[in-house]
Amino acid sequence: MGDESFKTTTVMEVFHLLLKYIHYPEMDTKLQEIYDLIETLPDEGQAKEYLKVIVRYVLIASPVPTQRVVQHARRFPGGEDMAGAALQEIREELQHDFDRKAEEYEQRGEQRGELKQSREMLLEAISEKFGTISADLVRRINSVESHETLKMLFKQTFRVDSLEEFKEQVHRATDN
């Protein structure tokens, strides 16, 4: 569609420019056009709300350097503060996301470590009771991703009388 078809309202034109150029270097010059259009809006409160959204979006998604976004925003009363507040919000969100991801990775690492330790203990118990065990049995046990299953298999080492009985238990647990 041509640019003219979006010039039905000022707001439509603003968002057309914003969405069309957000990922391109031309966004720097288009930001001036967008701000020119925002200044023409009759409702100052509405203009300020649009400006907040636009500044935040441009800071997050565009290749325009932060300094340039702030510089452009200075033309509005409180624009520099608005850009600073948007930057602070973005930093806080990023820090929160980083902290959450780090916690998730830490928990996953702990779970993997606990699973590894449980598998090693099970393999050691089997070796102590039955001697050498096959590579297939080791592979099957190492494929178990459930603490409950490993715990059940560990208990089975004390209940079964032969390695064959134990293998049957492992096959039942790992074939499901």
Global confidence as pTM: 0.51
- Give 145-166 pLDDT, tens digit per residue: 999 999 999 999 999 999 999 9
Q: How confident is the model at residue 11 (pLDDT cuts 50, 70, 90)?
A: confident
Average pLDDT over residues 10-31: 89
- Give the pLDDT score at 141: 95
Find, among 9, 14, 62, 4, the residue nearest to 34 by Cα: 14
- Give the pLDDT score at 115: 94
Average pLDDT over residues 16-36: 89
- Give the pLDDT score at 122: 95
* Res 117 pLDDT > 90: yes
* Res 137 pLDDT > 90: yes
**How far lies 60's CA from each of 23, 29, 66, 93, 132, in Å?**
10, 17, 9, 11, 59
| Cβ neighbour number for residue 79 with a 10 Å cutoff | 20
Average pLDDT over residues 120-134: 93
DSSP, res 38: H
Two tokens, residue 103: 């916690």
Better-scored residue on pLDDT, 3 or 72 = 72
DSSP, res 144: -
* Domain residue ranges of the chain, discontinuous segments joined by +: 3-77, 110-175
- Give 61-90 pLDDT, tens digit per residue: 888 888 888 888 887 777 777 777 777 888
Q: How confident is the model at residue 138 (pLDDT cuts 50, 70, 90)?
A: very high
